[in-house]
Each structure stands twice: as C-alpha cells, then as structure tokens.
Amino acid sequence: MFTPMTRTLPGVPRRAAMKVAASAIAGALAGRSLPLRAQTAGATPADAPVFGARLATLANGLTVVSLESRRAPVAAQMVWYKVGSADEPQGLSGMAHFLEHLMFRGTPSVPAGQFSRRVARVGGNDNAFTSFDYTAYHQQVARESLPLIMAMEADRMQSILLDPATIDTERGVILEERRQVIDNVPRARFREQFNATSYINHPYGRPVIGFEHEIRTIPRDALAAFHASHYAPNNAILLLSGAISAEEAVRLADQHYGAIPAKAIASRTRPMEPLPVAERRLSLRDPRAAEPSVSRGWLAPSFVSAGLLPDGTRHALALEVAAHVLGGGPGSRLYAALVETGLSTGTGAWYTGEAVDPTDFGVAATCRQGTEPAKLEAALDAALAKFLEEGASEAETTRAIRQMTEGAIFARDSLMGGARVVGAALAVGMSLESVETWPAQIRGVTAAQVTEAARAVLARPAVTGWLLPQPAA
C-alpha cells in the first residue's frame, strides 16, 4: 500500500487506470465492516490507524470521508464513482473513459473549459482518471477555495453538456490519446494483448481506454445513459483531505451535495472468468522493442472476490507478501535467480488485489543482451518451481513485510496519497478499517500463509507472454 509497486518492468501487464498509476491498495479480509478504531494517547505507531480517517454517510447515500492534516493551509477533493470500464456494455469499450473526458466539457452552469480554468485561477490543479472498477475526479486548492470546487463538482454530478460537436471533438482527442499511449508504445501494446489473453470472459480483458473501432462508434445516447445510470451520490465517495476537520467536511458535503437526489443504482453484473484449464501463450514482435521480456500471470482472488477459490479472499494479504518475496527488488527470489546469474537485467512481480472481481498475480523478467529467451524462461520456470516446492522462508517473509510496511509512517505526508489509497479501497468494496490497520495485518502474515497462497494460485495454468524485438529482415 505504501511502498512503490514491484511492477516496474517493461513487460509487466499492469491492470491500471489510464492517466494514473493506481496505488497498491492493501487491506484486510474482504467484507469487514468494523468500527474505526480511535487513536489514543497510549497507542503505539504500530497500532495506530494509518490515516485517522473519519467516515459519514449523507441522507442521499453519499459516503463522506475526511483525512484531516494541518501541515499546510491547502485541501484536496476527490470524488470516486463506483463505475469503471468493466461496467460498460459489450461493444462500447472506452465509454467510461470517454465520459470522464466529457465531464470537463461543461454543464448548463459551468461553460466548457471553465471548470479547470476556475481551479487554475485560484492557484489549484485538477484532473481525473478511469480504471476498471472506478472513475475519480480530483482537485487541490487553497483551503478557502474548497467550497468553489465542491460546488462545481456537485454541479457536474447532476448534469453535463453532451453537444454532438463537442463529443466528436473529444472522440478525436481520445483516439489520439490511444495512439500515443497504446499503439505507439510496444510495452503498452503488449500489455493490452496480455490482458486480453488472461481474461477470456471477464471485461478486465478489455482496455480501459477502449478499442479504436468501438471508440469511433460510441453514440451520444449511450454516454448520456451511462452518466444518468451511474453518476449519483449513492454511487459515489467524497474524500476531503488537508486543512479541514471531520465536522466541517460533513457540513460542506451536505451543503453542496446533500440536495442531489439518490438514484436507483443497478448492482454490478459482470460475466465471471472461468477457472483456466489450459496454459496460454502469446508473443508480440515489435521493431521498437529493445530486449526480449517475458511476463507470466495467473488468475487470483482479490480482497473482495474469492477468484473461484474456496474462501479465496483470505489469501489476499499473503499474496501481497508473496509478490514481494518473488519480485521485490534485490534480495528477492527472482532477482537472485535471474539477475545475479547474469540472465536478466531486471525482474519483478505484481498482485492487483484492489479489484471488485478475480484479479491477477504475475511475474516478469527482461533478457540481458545476449540471453536467449528460452534460457531465461527455463530459469524462470526453475525458480518458480523451487519456490513452490520449498515455500517462503521465515527470513524472506520477514524481510518482505519490513520493506512493505516501513513507509507506512510517512503515508499521511502527501495531501493526495491517503485520499487515493482510501478512495480506491472503498470504491472496490473494501472497508475503511482494512486500510487503516493494514500495517498491523500485513505484519501478521506468516511464511506458511505465503506458501499456502502461492501454491493455491501459482499451481494453476498460467498465461505466458513474450515481447520480442522484430528480427532483422
């Protein structure tokens, strides 16, 4: 949660939001709804809540979370909608991201382009991002300007302008964005294909930004219906962080958002991914790729979805530790087996536990110049087999947990950091308590649990993908 992601390799197929690298959200067992433990004078840093967040719910269903910090007279607002690209109808990929763009193109009260201009005029900044499971909008301003941005955000929650000419213009912007961040980037093209191979039935296999041919045909009526169906206070989480008390946060939230009526929100109904029964392989050749890189991924439970494993969510914390044991930099299993032996220039591992549905666990490595891909893959196979046979040791489990938690005490230093972590967790169905107590819970993970979780997931059929340089003509 608080340390850099281990997914740092060129070939790692991150299931991430467009425009932003989603934080690695860590938490406790899914579905818990425990009261937030108060920090007392006698609490030790290990026992204290990480953020000290306060949660309330307005009469219209809006969840309000405050993270007070008086380090500077500034404040941030984030509004998270519990809808993302995985909630799009079949054939309309990219619609959630398309709507995110259009949210900046004006309302009857705030003309097109004026939202960001007004934020900038008071010295602030704003942006937004879309992921598989949520869409979020955020601003940072001086404390006295917080009512301004809350009023504008509440305004576009209720209505936006969907002028056909504006939609066509923005469609062109998004198509150009896709060319820049996907089509012209070999590693991104590979990630898109890897995801599509990993999920044969679930919408996590579709790109967040959408497929080009579908972006071109998304109609205005579908965009309007998507906003009307999902943008409502009872489907949103408002986070206010910075120089604002919990009491004032609730008062301002009620003032600006309280009159917005709740809507009937349909439950998320997504096709589920079946258990894999066969190994899958893919390769992508691109003349712009420097060195061959390999990625391997497995279907895994998330913090809130069992992933077709009995009681699978109980493995989530242990899978976070397993990813660090395998690929958490120097000292990890794959680093020792592949980098220190001279076969690879870098290795890594990832586990995307912050997901509504079954997710992925994976490893990756890049060939050192002169290393044959088959030799690197054989060494990767051997390292994984050895890990599953031996299990995680007490020493490497302790090392991984120490490295993962040592940054927790600095987690509140960032105005937006805590809001991103808490917001993403709540948006996928995790509890606030699970975020606040993450360091203590991750410290409770044992080597035996890491081994059990790894064997439960990595013993399944995997997807193996290679990004390869184009051979010389």
Residues marked active site are found at: 100
Question: CA 98, CA 346: separation in Å to the nearest integer?
Answer: 35
As a whole number of Å, the end-to-end CA separation of the chain is 46
Question: CA 429, CA 80: separation in Å to the nearest integer?
Answer: 12
Residue with tokens 């009159």: 259
Residue 328, judged by CB atoms within 10 A of its CB (0-12, 13-18, 19+), counts as buried
* Phi-psi domain of 212 (left: phi exceeds 0; alpha: psi -120 through 50; beta: other): alpha
Helices (H), 92-163: 95-102, 114-121, 146-158
DSSP secondary-structure letter at 267?
P
Q: Are 112 and 166 in contact (CB under 8 A)?
A: yes
Question: CA 329, CA 317: separation in Å to the nearest integer?
Answer: 19
Question: CA 53, CA 430: separation in Å to the nearest integer?
Answer: 14
Question: CA 15, CA 3: separation in Å to the nearest integer?
Answer: 18
Question: CA 102, CA 108: separation in Å to the nearest integer?
Answer: 13
DSSP letter string over 434-470? HHHTHHHHHHT--HHHHHHHHHHHHTS--EEEEEEEP
Q: Are 377 and 294 in contact (CB under 8 A)?
A: yes
Question: CA 316, CA 194: separation in Å to the nearest integer?
Answer: 22
DSSP secondary-structure letter at 372?
-
* 417-421: long-range pairs with CB below 8 Å, 24+: 417/23, 418/50, 418/51, 418/53, 418/67, 418/241, 419/67, 419/76, 419/78, 419/138, 419/239, 419/241, 420/22, 420/23, 420/78, 421/1, 421/2, 421/23, 421/25, 421/51
Question: CA 356, CA 96: separation in Å to the nearest integer?
Answer: 16
Taking alpha carbons only, the member of 450, 444, 445, 334 closest to residue 392 is 450
Using DSSP's 3-state secondary structure scheme, residue 38 falls into coil
Question: CA 424, CA 237: separation in Å to the nearest integer?
Answer: 10
